[in-house]
Structure formats: C-alpha cells, structure tokens
Amino acid sequence: MRTVRPTRRRTPADRPRRPVPSRLPPRDVLRLGAVGLRARRARVVLSALGIAIGIATMVAVVGLSHSSKADLMARLDRLGTNLLTAETGKDWDGNVVKLPKSAVAMVERIGPVQHASATGYVDVRIRRSDAVPEERTAAVSAQAARTDLLSALGAEVARGVWLDRAGERLPVTVLGAIAAERLGVAAPGEKIMMGDRYVVVVGILRPVELVPQLDRVALVGFPAAERYFGFDGHPSMIFERSPDHTVEEVRAVLARSISPGSEGYIKVSRPSDALAAKAATDKGLTTLMLGLGAVALLVGGVGVANTMVISVLERRQEIGLRRALGATRSAIRTQFLMESLLLSALGGASGALLGTAATYGFALAQDWRPVVPPWSLAAGFSATLLIGVLAGLYPAVRASRLHPTVALNAA
C-alpha cells in the first residue's frame, strides 16, 4: 500500500526570483562617458568652445568689474572723500558773482574745517613764446593759487618745486600736467609767455585726480598775479577739507559762510562724487556684459545638445548592442547624460581659466590689483553643469528609448 505524502504549500521564498540588472559604478560611468568624447575629439572641442566663450566672458566681466572697483576704492581712500569745493556762479542777469577776498578766512572759522585754500581766475593769455600769435593759447588758462593749495588737495609736484612765500611774489609759475604737455615744457627752468611778460616755470604738478581742471592751468601766486597781471584778488574757487563725519554738516553751511546773502549763486560740490558715479556706470556696463556672456553660454548649450543628438544617431548600433547584452534604459540615459556633463565641464573649466587669465592680464596692464571672486568661478562652473544636464536630457532619453532590434538593424 502506497503512502501518500502530504504536499507542502509553496511560499514566496520558493518562487523563482527575477534577475536584477547590474548597475555600473560611478567610476565606470565616468570612464564610459569619457570614451564617447575621445572618439570624436574635433566635434567635442568645437562644442566645448561655445561654453568656454560664455564662461570666459562672464568670469572676465565680473573679475574686471571687481578689479576696477578695488582700484577705485583704493584711490578714494588715498585721495579722501572729505574735499568740498565752492565756486562762483552767475546772477539772474548773467553777471559773475565774485567771492569775497576774505572767503578763505571765513571758511576757516567753520569749526570742523581742517584745511582751506583757494584759486582765482587770471585774465591773461598764455603762449609758449612771443613767436606764437596771441590767439594761439594752447587751451591753457592762468589761475592764482595760495601756497597751501597742495596740502588742501593732497596734490604733488612731479618735477621742480611748489610756490613758497618768496615764489608767490615773483613772476614764476607751476604748470599742471596737461598744461606742461601742451606748452611743450619738459622740465623746470624753461620760460613761457603770460600776456606780454615771460615767466619762469619752477615746477610741474602730477595729475590732480580730484580736481582735474587744474591739470590744464598755469598757477602763479596771488601777490604776483595782482602785481604783474591785473588780478583783482577775488578767489573763484574755494577748496576745503574736514573730517569725514562732518562733511555734510560743513556742506550745508559752506556757501552761507563764504558769502552771506549770496549763497544761492555759489555752487558747492564734492569731487569724490564723480568717482562714485563712475562706479555706478561701471556697474551698469557689467550687467550688460554679463547678459552677453549669458547669451554666449546659451548658444554653447544649444551646441552641446546638437552634438549629443548627432552622437545618438551615429551610435544606434552601439546602443542596440548594449541593450541586447542587458544594459537598462537607465544605464543608457546615464551614459549620455555623463557625456553631456563632461563636455560642458570641459568647456566650463577652459572658460574659467581663460576668463581668469584675461582678468589678470588686463588688470595688470591698467596697474590694478587683479581680483577674481571665487563665487564667480563657482557660479560659472555650476552654470555649465546645469547647461550640460539640460542639453543632454533629450538626447539621453531618446537613446534610452531605442529598441534593441531596431537599433541593431540601423545602417
């Protein structure tokens, strides 16, 4: 008699397991993507060039903007932002309102004022010599100056000496940098014509950055201007320095202190504001150039996408073979996304190097301190990776959807 054994119920552990596709480790994915790029080097270089141009433009624009700003801030620190100027204006009838001869003394009575000086317009023609017609003045004017003018402006003499207590009474002059160039005066000791009188050049100034109009004038002492050239002794511009925290307070009372009752005709300004306005202008230009760099980067991304689409079309048999051997759609997508990322990263790294080199080269040529903010490099490289993902997404998805049979039969 046969013994019937009881049947055992199947459990989930007894069911056959479906094979789990293997996954490529990140190192192999990176190597596979690099192999795809090395097979088409010329195309890769041309595609990466668009990305490189965009990133180089953006890095260079940011770097040069920061280098220029750093140089500007250094100049402001050196020159100071506490200089105020007050100059004469015209009344309602068009007549010039003269400043009082005691204007400097009145400014010095303002509590916070540390330095005060003045210049005055001298109505006399300046020529290189008496052989030059009077109407040819070389666009150089004459002004009377006090001996303490340089200390108030923080200006310096490039060659020769400044006017002292003796020199301000003699027929001698100190030329601004541009005035010396226009008159053809290379060194102190030469003579020029002021009106119908020869005067000796005793000094040549360095460029006065805060008051550039002084670069185009010939300066003589107040007593000499009154004695030899008919100067009336009234200053035309006052220069004043006070501590930084008191500048606005002094500015509010400066015109009224100089000429009570006529303060509405006196123009008070702060020369350092012109440098600050230049910084604002540079910021607008930087924004424009960053926009152009972004457009170049976008064009580079389109080039990367085009390259990847063509790569998918050319490599259909390779894709079909890998799919037939067990590669999943995810593996195919990852492969082509990695190629796109590597292509963009190559362009981004090259662009960052080119932009940094351009920044250093131009900044050093302008005697600036080169500044390339680290965030600009990080932002540029991050942008290239984002471009790489977006540009490679469609080609990668398209490659992963190719049927193995169709891909292997492709010509």
Which SS3 state, helix, strand or coil, does residue 159 take? strand
Average the pLDDT over 254-271 and give the result: 82
- Token pair listed for 113: 């004022």
- Predicted confidence band of residue 406 (pLDDT cuts 50, 70, 90): low
Say whether pLDDT at 89 is over 90. no
- pLDDT band, residue 22 (cuts 50/70/90): low
pLDDT at position 99, please?
Answer: 86
**CB neighbour list of residue 35: distance below 8 Å, 6 or more residues apart:** none
Pairing of β 267-269 and β 83-87? antiparallel
| Averaged pLDDT score across all residues of the chain | 81
- What pLDDT was estimated at residue 224? 94
Is the confidence at residue 111, as pLDDT, over 90? no
Selection from 176, 152, 157 nearest residue 83 by Cα = 152
Q: Are 158 and 84 in contact (CB under 8 A)?
A: no
* Residue 259 per-residue DSSP state: S
* Tokens representing residue 409 in the block: 């039969």
Spatial separation of the C-alpha atoms in residues 409 and 111, rounded to whole Å: 94
Distance CA 370, CA 384 (A): 24
**Does 235 have pLDDT greater than 80?**
yes
Angle between helices 26-38 and 329-365 (to 10 degrees): 70
Q: How far apart are CA 50 and CA 338, in angstroms?
A: 19
Confidence of residue 357 (pLDDT cuts 50, 70, 90): very high
pLDDT (mean) for 333-339: 82
- What was the pLDDT predicted at 201? 94
pLDDT at residue 387 tops 70? yes
pTM tops 0.75, yes or no: no
SS (H, E, C) 109-151: CCCCCCEEEEEEEECCCEECCCCCCCCCCCCCEEEEECCCHHH
Look at residue 145 and tell me whether its pLDDT is greater than 90.
yes
Confidence of residue 216 (pLDDT cuts 50, 70, 90): very high
Q: In angstroms, what CA-CA distances link 128 with 28, 187, 193, 285, 358?
A: 80, 14, 6, 42, 44
State residue 35's pLDDT score. Answer: 72
Mean pLDDT score, 181-186: 90
Poorest-pLDDT segment among 104-108, 128-132, 233-237, 401-405? 401-405
Q: Tell me the range of 133-137, 180-184, 343-347 where mean pLDDT is highest.
A: 180-184
Query: With 60 as the cut, is the pLDDT of residue 2 above it?
Result: no
Residue 282 is predicted with a pLDDT of 58
Residue 202 in this model has a pLDDT that exceeds 60:
yes
74-87 pLDDT, tens digit per residue, is 776 666 678 888 88
pLDDT value at 273 more than 60: yes
d(CA 355, CA 284): 20
The residue whose two tokens read 């039969």 is 409
Q: Which residue has the higher pLDDT, 61 or 160?
A: 160
Q: Tell which wins on pLDDT, 59 or 201.
A: 201
| pLDDT classification of 6: cutoffs 50, 70, 90 | low
Q: What residue has token string 């999943």?
A: 328
Summarised one tens digit per residue, pLDDT across range 277-327 is 665 555 655 676 667 677 777 777 777 777 777 777 777 777 777 777 777
Averaged pLDDT, 357-383: 86
The Cα 86–Cα 79 span in angstroms is 18
pLDDT (mean) for 199-212: 90
* Residue 60 one-letter amino acid: A
- Is 103 a residue whose pLDDT tops 60? yes
CB 312 within 8 A of CB 336: yes
